Amino acid sequence: MKKTILCLVLFYCIGTGLGHVPVIAGDNERLEMATLIHDPLKSWVIYDELHKAGEAHYFQFHLQQGQKLHVSLFTPGENNFTPTLVVMGPGISSLGTIPGYIEIPGDAGVLVVKSRYPGKASYEPFTPAAHYNVMDMDMVVNETGTYYIAVYEPSLRGSYGLAIGYREEFGFMEWIRVPWDVITIHLWEGQPPGFIFAPMLAVLVIGLFFLNHIRNNLFGWIGYFAGLFYIGGSAMTMIQMLIAFSRAAPTSQVFITLFFVIVPIIAGIVIIRIATQERIDPKTRVTMTLLGIVGLFTWVGLIIGPVLAIGASVLPSAK
């Protein structure tokens, strides 16, 4: 049991490399309605879609003189969709031309950064996913002030991801909600909700055939389904890994994803074994609690599994 908990703690440490915190952009098709990025040094990512050719999305942030702006663009598909990025703000030396429909703040310099289709996708091990990195840039700003980014494509529509910042840090709730942010990413990729959740549903349905092994008490029932959610979440990750491999060549980073697949399965089996025990002592309850807490911080079981495990640890085990 100690080895299992240690494994989950290691799982947590590996997960700190995810980096980007997702942002919901909202209606930002006008400069005056630009999405505000509160801390552009922190690593954020916006998953969005240009719904038609000639549409533009705007983002706003504040930088101090001498601070670095890091920006990258990526796309989910193979359709040669390469949106253009424009950086606008004080002290920027204007370079490049933009279409007339792009709004420019007064007296701002305009830097146009063209994207380039890379030809092959890059594997991202934490989601997991395969994306096309079409643009990456760094610049140090010369003046303190408000800066804007515009993303547009004059002739095509499509989905894009905009990553801003380089400091990889998460707030408490930003970290906890990662499993559902990952679902949002797969929806952005164009996957149907039913397909995304199918592995989880399959595990839950199969689990129903073994209910006769569960002791008839709240601890057993809740704990059993907690374990199923751990295993089901692992199945979802495995399917997404296989989808990514259909578009991107496997790299050594596959071992990170495999860790996300194997460790939750082990934890789920341990939880199910605990839930089916005849005798539940205080030590067993502590173990269930620890597995739930560590699972909550390591994105296991769509949050639901860890919450059920923690809840089961305080429920009665008598019939």
Q: Does pLDDT of 171 surpass 90?
A: no
State mean pLDDT over 5-34. Answer: 67
Establish if 261 belongs to a structural domain: yes
**Residue 127's domain is classified under what CATH number?**
2.60.120.380
How remote is the C-alpha of 89 from its chain's centroid? Answer: 30
Establish if 178 belongs to a structural domain: yes
* Same domain for 183 and 133: no
Q: Which residue has the tokens 């890994």?
A: 241
| Number of domains, the chain | 2
* Same domain for 130 and 34: yes
* Cα 49 to Cα 33: distance, rounded to the nearest angstrom: 16
What region does 119 belong to: left with phi over 0, alpha with psi -120 to 50, or beta? left
Out of 113, 146, 169, pick the residue that ends a domain.
Answer: 169
Establish if 129 belongs to a structural domain: yes
Out of 124, 144, 169, pick the residue that ends a domain.
Answer: 169
* Same domain for 254 and 142: no
pLDDT value, residue 318? 65
Establish if 77 belongs to a structural domain: yes
Q: Give the CA distances from residue 157 to residues 70, 77, 172, 292, in Å, rounded to whole numbers and listed in that order.
A: 25, 12, 35, 43
Establish if 32 belongs to a structural domain: yes
pLDDT value, residue 17? 45
* Same domain for 36 and 8: no
Out of 112, 140, 169, pick the residue that ends a domain.
Answer: 169
Residues 6 or more apart whose Cβ sits within 8 Å of residue 114: 82, 84, 96, 135
Establish if 317 belongs to a structural domain: no
Establish if 318 belongs to a structural domain: no
Predicted TM-score of the model (pTM): 0.88
Local confidence band at 319 (pLDDT 50, 70, 90 cut-offs): low
* Same domain for 181 and 150: no
Instruction: Render pLDDT for 260-292 as a digit per residue (tens, 0 to 9).
Output: 999 999 999 999 999 988 888 899 999 999 999
* Same domain for 117 and 91: yes
- Closest by Cα among 225, 212, 209 to 292: 225
* Same domain for 301 and 195: yes
* Same domain for 143 and 282: no
* Same domain for 182 and 146: no
* Same domain for 162 and 299: no
Establish if 7 belongs to a structural domain: yes
State mean pLDDT over 51-59. Answer: 95
* Cα 206 to Cα 198: distance, rounded to the nearest angstrom: 12
Q: Which domain holds residue 152?
A: 20-169
Buried b (16+ CB within 10 A) or exposed e, 245-279: eebbeeeeebebbebbbbbbbbbbebbbebbeeee
pLDDT value, residue 168? 83
Q: Does pLDDT of 189 surpass 80?
A: yes
Instruction: Render pLDDT for 112-157 as a digit per residue (tens, 0 to 9).
Output: 999 999 989 999 998 999 999 999 999 999 999 999 999 999 999 9
Phi/psi for 76 (5° steps) reads: -90, -15
* Same domain for 63 and 49: yes
Alpha helices in 210-303 (DSSP H): 218-245, 254-275, 282-297
- Closest by Cα among 147, 36, 41 to 90: 147
Mapping DSSP to helix (H, G, I), strand (E, B) and coil, where does residue 270 land?
helix
Q: Does pLDDT of 20 surpass 70?
A: no
* Same domain for 214 and 269: yes
- Sign of the Cα torsion 241, 242, 244, 249 reads positive
